[in-house]
Amino acid sequence: MFDPSSDSEEHDLYQLQLGPNPSLALTQHPLIETLRTTLNQTLPYCCGAMTLSPDSFILYYGKTREARRLDLLHASPEALDHLQRSCDPATFGVGQESVLDPAYRKAGKLDRKNFAINIDVERSGVLEAVRTGLFLGKEQGRHVRAELYKLNVYGQGSFFKAHKDTPRSGAMFASLVLVFPTAHTGGTLVVTQGGGRWTFDAASILADGSLPGPRVAYIAFYGDTEHEVTEVTSGHRVTITYNLYYVEDTELNRMENVHVMQPVGSNHHEVKSTLSSLLDDPGFLPNGGILGFGLRHLYPLPTTFHADTDNTLNVLKTRLKGVDAALYRACSELLAPPALYTVFESHTPLGKNGHRALVACPRIVKMDGYDTEDEPPVWEKLCRSWGGVLLNFPHEYLPPSAADGCKPIHNWVVHWVTPLSDASRVKTRFAAYGNEPMIGYLYQRICMLLKVGPPGSRALDLL
């Protein structure tokens, strides 16, 4: 049943107990399987090595007027020991709080006010590498801003267990880590997402004699990417981290006349090619239909939403990343830009087959209140009052025609290509009334819906 007072953990637990919802079953087709595989191939990170001038390795650090100077190209173990002793214990983010737990993260850190180094990331070329590695097509001309965040020292026995970074603002989308050529073993960065697992061994990259000049290793990854630092078994792993932010449109100087080649691992062309093959198959959706794609990435979303003027989904279209951006672009070039919708999933099963109502709304819903005794089910209220549309709803359970003054309820058949993800889940609060007042929570996940016509005329108007 729908329990409006359930918070996130209770909601997740109850969702698991309900089991799969047939209304969210993925569509089976050989070319759709190929498309799913292609979509899962996008890497959530980019990495490499960056050559710098020798003076870029000079580090100044200290918490008093007596700053120390350290050449990270030729640092002795004793000098690095002093740097490590000068650090504070490194914390990590849980929600909006910083937590210190040496069993989870053992490392040293200096805040940016306590160190200085002569690296100009804006002119180094590394941000261009990030754009071509994480963005697609024209989005690679989009400007980003790097904000120096922290210096970390991982000495022998240091590590950081698997975690995700905490976004510092709605414009922050990724982290950039530079690893210096200080002697160390271990300390490999392991990145995982969507069942994939990749390792970034900076020590091996920096030891590669075929690469030119003094250099640092770099890796940039989206904020929703889980990663960990394995235990350092010897030496000192020294890094500095930058937070990467989107530059607002008013600040942009777009490179309209610059064509950037796609990097290895960015697969917009494969997405477009596979989707094109699917649409060319006359046996696929012979009468047309709607394709559904759950967003894969985590996006920093507002914590408050205005009930009447919210435009979060329109803004989100300009901030899609990774596979979401590749898919959006491929659909736009082949047919039309997909529409972004939020999807509410009811907790109340319909009959014995496990179907639960899905309602797609064209914006994030922020209800003021809900009467648990006198109002219709939440899914029906969303349809009647918020422009919601049922998805894959069994016809035998459709409510009767609308009463006077109520909007009719529509039911779309959606062919799910990729599943809805909790990474894009939004939670809004409202006042719930029943036997006693309480705070209610409405959970919505974000998806793309693409309207497809029959063979020969696949492109149709927007949803």
Percent of the chain at pLDDT exceeding 90: 41
- In this predicted structure, what is the pLDDT of residue 252? 35
Mean pLDDT along residues 341-356: 84
Give 393-440 pLDDT, tens digit per residue.
988 888 776 555 567 789 999 999 999 988 788 888 888 887 777 888
- In this predicted structure, what is the pLDDT of residue 256? 32
> In whole angstroms, what is the distance from residue 327 CA to residue 275 CA?
9
> In whole angstroms, what is the distance from residue 423 CA to residue 305 CA?
18
Which pair of tokens denotes residue 414?
A: 């959606």
| Lowest-confidence pick of 42-46, 85-89, 350-354 | 350-354
Give 288-337 pLDDT, tens digit per residue.
999 999 987 777 777 777 766 778 899 899 888 777 888 998 999 999 99
pTM above 0.85, yes or no: no
CB 448 within 8 A of CB 325: no
- In this predicted structure, what is the pLDDT of residue 254? 37
- In this predicted structure, what is the pLDDT of residue 311? 86
The residue that leads in pLDDT, 44 or 148, is: 148
pLDDT at 9 over 90: no
Residue 144, classed as helix, strand or coil, is: strand
Tell me which residue has tokens 């053992």.
106
Among residues 160, 157, 71, which one has the least CA distance to residue 117? 71
CB 461 within 8 A of CB 452: no
The residues, ordered by sequence, that sit 6+ positions from 321 with a Cβ below 8 Å of its Cβ are 134, 135, 173, 222, 297
> In whole angstroms, what is the distance from residue 316 CA to residue 340 CA?
9
> What's the pLDDT band for 236 if we cut at 50, 70, 90?
very high
- In this predicted structure, what is the pLDDT of residue 21? 87
- In this predicted structure, what is the pLDDT of residue 109? 95
- In this predicted structure, what is the pLDDT of residue 146? 94
Give 369-386 pLDDT, tens digit per residue.
888 778 888 898 899 888
- In this predicted structure, what is the pLDDT of residue 248? 63
Average pLDDT, the chain: 84
For the ranges 37-41, 264-268, 294-298, 339-343, the maximum mean pLDDT occurs at 339-343
Which pair of tokens denotes residue 200?
A: 């970034």
Among residues 60, 85, 62, which one has the least CA distance to residue 70? 60
Which pair of tokens denotes residue 391?
A: 């998805």
pLDDT at 85 over 70: yes
- In this predicted structure, what is the pLDDT of residue 406? 65
The residue that leads in pLDDT, 451 or 43, is: 451
> What's the pLDDT band for 255 if we cut at 50, 70, 90?
very low
pLDDT at 216 over 90: yes
Number of H helices, E strands in the chain: 10, 28
- In this predicted structure, what is the pLDDT of residue 323? 79
Using N-to-C axis directions, what is the helix angle for 322-334 and 268-280, rounded to 10°? 40
The residue that leads in pLDDT, 128 or 332, is: 332
> In whole angstroms, what is the distance from residue 91 CA to residue 99 CA?
5
pLDDT at 119 over 50: yes
- In this predicted structure, what is the pLDDT of residue 140? 56
- In this predicted structure, what is the pLDDT of residue 259? 25
Give me Rg for the CA atoms of the chain.
25
Among residues 414, 404, 364, 403, which one has the least CA distance to residue 386? 364
Say how many Å lie between the first and final Cα of the chain, rounded. 31
Mean pLDDT along residues 250-259: 32
Give 162-213 pLDDT, tens digit per residue.
988 776 666 889 999 999 999 999 999 999 987 889 999 999 989 888 877 8
Among residues 171, 319, 297, which one has the least CA distance to residue 224? 297
Q: Computed from CA positions of residues 224, 4, 292, 36, in that sequence, does the dihedral angle turn out positive or negative?
A: positive
The residue that leads in pLDDT, 357 or 257, is: 357
Mean pLDDT along residues 206-225: 87
pLDDT at 41 over 90: no
